[in-house]
């Protein structure tokens, strides 16, 4: 996680493009006690840039777990698989909400590897999703 300066105008574009949600776990920043971060999809230390196509809005936990990872093992095949890239992948093609909307299922190797690597179904975020759902503010309801 770099502390590189990202201009305010660029930050705002990233936030708006992401609909003010973590682009990985879909948690809405508006209702989170955490301050969301602008993350480099391809880390700077392996050639990533601080330009709009390489930036994503991320909750602190997803950003921390992702770190410099670009790939992880698919939980079904064990094969090394690229992680979800919010700029080149479509979320709904790789992920689906559980019937109670508390957890996210991986539909593809990319989705499954990302869920495990980023701990997308960690207990705290599942409780957060349940609370949001109960008051009609869950990302799947908006």
Boundaries of domain holding 18: 8-136
| Domain assignment present for 81 | yes
Write down the pTM of the prediction: 0.94
| Domain assignment present for 42 | yes
Q: What is the C-alpha separation between 64 and 41, in angstroms, rounded?
A: 12
Q: Do residues 60 and 94 make contact, with C-beta atoms less than 8 angstroms apart? A: no
Give residue 4's pLDDT.
77
Give residue 140's pLDDT.
84
| Domain assignment present for 3 | no
Q: Over the stretch 1-59, which tens digit does the pLDDT of each residue have?
A: 446 789 999 999 999 999 999 999 999 999 999 999 999 999 999 999 999 999 999 99
In terms of C-beta distances under 8 Å and separation of at least 24 residues, what long-range contacts does 27-32 make, across chains too?
27/59, 27/125, 27/128, 27/129, 27/139, 28/132, 28/137, 28/139, 28/142, 29/57, 29/59, 31/128, 31/132, 31/137, 32/59, 32/128
Q: Over the stretch 103-133, which tens digit does the pLDDT of each residue have?
A: 999 999 999 999 999 999 999 999 999 999 9
| Domain assignment present for 94 | yes
Give residue 79's pLDDT.
98
Give residue 5's pLDDT.
86
Give residue 1's pLDDT.
45
| Domain assignment present for 142 | no
Number of compact structural domains in the chain: 1
Give residue 142's pLDDT.
66
| Domain assignment present for 44 | yes
């Amino acid at each position: 996680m770099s502390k590189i300066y990202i201009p305010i105008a660029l930050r705002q574009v990233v936030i708006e493009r992401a609909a003010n949600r973590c682009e990985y776990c879909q948690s809405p920043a508006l209702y989170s006690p955490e301050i969301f971060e602008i993350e480099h999809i391809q880390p700077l230390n392996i050639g990533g840039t601080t330009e709009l196509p390489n930036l994503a809005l991320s909750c602190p936990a997803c950003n921390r777990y992702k770190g410099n990872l670009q790939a992880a093992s698919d939980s079904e095949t064990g094969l090394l698989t690229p992680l979800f890239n919010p700029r080149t992948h479509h979320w709904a093609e790789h992920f689906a909400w559980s019937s109670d909307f508390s957890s996210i299922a991986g539909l593809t190797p990319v989705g499954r590897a990302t869920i495990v690597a980023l701990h997308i179904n960690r207990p705290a975020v599942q409780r957060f999703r349940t609370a949001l759902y109960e008051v009609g503010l869950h990302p799947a309801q908006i």
